Amino acid sequence: MARHARYDRQTALAKAVALFWERGYHGSSMKQIEQALDMRPGSIYATFGSKDGLFSEALAAYAEQGSQELKTYLEPAESIIDGLEAYLRGIAQTGTQTQAKPSRACMIVKTLLESSNTHPALAEQANRILANIQQALCEALETAKARGELLASTDCHRLARLLQAQIVAIRSMAERDLAPDELSDLGADVASILESYRVRH
C-alpha cells in the first residue's frame, strides 16, 4: 500500500563495499558515499542507519564474498592441500592485475589495522570475521588430515593460523608496487610452505 524502494539493497551494498574497500572507513566521506551509491543522505540513513551501520554491513558482505571465493578453490580440487596452494598462488596472481579490484589488500585486515585504536566496534567485527575464517581453514585442514593428505602430527588449529597469516601477508604485500612476477614468486614460495606439512608419496 505504498511506494517502492528505488534502490536495491544488495546493489547499494556492493557499491559501498567497493568504496570502503578502496578508501577505508575514515577515508570515505558521506559525500563520496552519496555519490557512489547514487543515493541522497536521507535514503542512506533510512536504509542503513548510519555510516557505521553501512560500513558494518559492507564488511560482512565482503567477508561473505571472500569466503565464497575460497570455496571455489577448495571444492573442485581433488586434494584439499592442492586447493589451498592454488588459492595462495591465485591471490598473488590477482594482486598482479592492475585495477582489477578496488584494492589489492584485504578489506578485513585494512579495517582491523585502521580501527583497532579508533573504532573498537569495527575492530571487534573484523576480529570475529578473521576468527571464523581461521575456523573454516581449520576444518578444511582437519578433513585433509582425515584423508591422509597431512602428517598425522599436524596441529590443524595452529596450521590454520599460519595459513591465515600467509593470506594476510600476500594480500598486504600486493599493495606494494611489486612487479607481477615478484608477486607470483611470493605466491609460489608461500604455497610451498604447506609442502612441509604434507604426507609424501
Partner DNA sequence: ACTGTTATTGAGTGATCACTCAAGTTATAA
Partner DNA sequence: TTATAACTTGAGTGATCACTCAATAACAGT
Binding site for its own copies (CB under 8 A): 22-24, 26-27, 102-103, 105, 109-110, 112-114, 116-118, 127, 130-131, 158-159, 161-162, 164-166, 168-170, 172-173, 175-178, 182, 185-186, 189-190, 193, 196
Q: Contact at 8 Å (CB) between 136 and 156?
A: no
**C-alpha grid cell for residue 160?**
590454520
Smaller CB distance to its own copies: residue 72 or 132?
A: 132
Which one of DNA, its own copies, none is in contact with 3 (Cβ closer than 5 to 8 A by kind)? DNA
Instruction: Report the nearest approach of its own copies to the CB of residue 68 (Å).
Output: 22
Total residues at interface with DNA (CB under 7 A) = 22
List the one residue out of 115, 92, 113 whose CA is nearest residue 104.
92
* d(C-alpha 111, C-alpha 95), whole Å: 19
SS3 of residue 150 by DSSP? strand
Residues forming beta bridges with residue 130, ordered by sequence position? none
Cα torsion for 36, 41, 46, 49, to the nearest 10°? 80
> In degrees rounded to 5, what are phi and psi of residue 114?
-75, -35
Q: Under rule CB under 7 A, which residues in 43-72 are in contact with DNA?
A: 43, 45-47, 50-52
Which one of its own copies, DNA, none is in contact with 94 (Cβ closer than 5 to 8 A by kind)? none
DSSP assignment string, 73-117: HHSS-SSHHHHHHHHHHHHHHHTTSTTSSS-SS-HHHHHHHHHTT
Which one of its own copies, DNA, none is in contact with 113 (Cβ closer than 5 to 8 A by kind)? its own copies
Which one of its own copies, DNA, none is in contact with 2 (Cβ closer than 5 to 8 A by kind)? DNA
* Amino acid identity, position 181: D
Q: Under rule CB under 7 A, which residues in 14-43 are in contact with DNA?
A: 28-31, 39-43
Smaller CB distance to its own copies: residue 77 or 193?
A: 193
Residue whose C-alpha cell is 591465515: 164
Binding residues for DNA (CB under 7 A): 1-7, 28-31, 39-43, 45-47, 50-52
